[in-house]
Amino acid sequence: MQFEPGDRRRVLPRHLRPAAPVEVFSYTIRPVRATDLPHVREIYNHFVSNSAVTLDERRSSIPYWREKFALLTKLNLPFLVAVSPGGVVLGYALAQPWAGKNAYRYTVEDSIYLGPGAGGKGLGAALLQALIDACAQIGIREMVAVISDSGAEASIRLHAKLGFEEAGRMGRVGFKFGRELGTVYMRRALRPSGRRRGLFSSSRGR
């Protein structure tokens, strides 16, 4: 197709225009660094202020996350972040002690949160699978998820997709945003490829 000089129809028909480049959602999953903690804090605080996915009502602080980072490092438990090519923290996942007694040292509770705009792109599944793999490598045998029963259908589906099974429910154990909330417990047995060396320090009565 040719156009005469001065012809205003210089724009090609839609079917002849070159396709626009497809933006690829890419990221790297790696262990958290101290410099990531402010971004992790902001992701979590977004859910504290705007969602019942977490039953926390007070926004977390940088000292809180530094303390958690130090504790998980001491216990040799994974704390992962997903980072964009530009260095933006898109989400995080961590494993923490299920309970304070040493008898629970082979069981952990997972926590996974994605930043705004990062959901619905497979990142949640990738982060949770990376967390499962990291836990298996250090000898963890069981992973537990405690999920709010309000507006957390996506989290329940995500855990079910990764092999978690519902283990029970507790109703009306929380209260946030003026309404009563319950929790859904899910669990998955892991296949440890390593040996658990560290012990969880007990802060509770024997």
pLDDT, residue 202, reads: 42
Please give the model's pTM, rounded to 2 decimal places.
0.85
* Mean pLDDT of all residues belonging to the chain: 89
- What share of the chain in percent tops pLDDT 70? 84
Q: Which neighbouring-strand residues pair with 180? A: 175
* 169-200 pLDDT tens trace: 999 999 999 999 999 999 999 999 988 766 66
Q: Which residues, 6+ apart, have CB-to-CB distance to 8 below 8 Å?
A: none
Element (H, E) at 31: strand 28-31
From 79, 90, 98, 95, select the one nearest 34 (Cα to Cα): 79
In what side-by-side order are the strands of the sheet with 165-176?
A: 28-31, 79-83, 89-97, 107-114, 142-148, 179-189, 165-176
Element (H, E) at 17: none
* 39-59 pLDDT tens trace: 999 999 999 999 999 999 999
Distances from the Cα of 58 to the Cαs of 16, 41, 96, in angstroms?
55, 12, 20
pLDDT, residue 174, reads: 95
